[in-house]
Amino acid sequence: MDILTVVERSERMRRVRQAGTKPELAVRRVLHSMGFRYRLNRRDLPGRPDIVLPSKRVALFVHGCFWHRHQGCRRATTPKTNTDYWLPKFAENEARDVRAIRVLEAGGWRVRVVWQCETDHPGQLGESLREFLLCSNCDA
């Protein structure tokens, strides 16, 4: 049973940000410290990637582990109440993510999903992003 009223739950859910989240800011900090410049939330690209490096044709999505169902992550829990709402919502989120990535890749973009839990370790995240961004023999 939910400990919040319907109004309280609605207000709490309304406050969940879509852009400028803490994980997104962490990724932006890492990229900036490595000297990369980027654009944010390009509306003209499928899925509206959170961060785009146009010169490298790279699109980065910063996904919350809960909302986008990061497999094996402790943050990707399923609420015990109102599962008739949550399960289809999560399924649609995942399907939308897959569609956007496929369309971007078909258009010649390299796509990387950065999970919220990855931002807990900025050093490792920086190495991972550096390796991805500086890949010299990648398909693009």
> pLDDT truncated to tens, each residue of the chain (140 aa)?
678 788 887 787 677 766 778 999 999 999 999 999 999 999 999 999 999 999 999 999 999 999 899 999 999 899 888 899 899 999 999 999 999 999 999 999 999 999 999 999 999 999 999 999 988 666 54
CATH number of the domain where residue 105 is located: 3.40.960.10
Q: Judge whether 38 lies within some domain.
A: yes
Q: Judge whether 111 lies within some domain.
A: yes
Look at the chain and report how many structural domains it folds into. 1
Nearest to 118 by CA among 55, 53, 68, 49: 68
pLDDT at residue 136, rounded to an integer: 60
pLDDT at residue 138, rounded to an integer: 67
pLDDT at residue 126, rounded to an integer: 94
Long-range CB contacts for residues 71-78, cutoff 8 Å, separation at least 24: 73/115, 73/117, 75/116, 75/117
pLDDT at residue 68, rounded to an integer: 92
Q: Judge whether 5 lies within some domain.
A: no
Q: Which domain holds residue 46?
A: 17-129
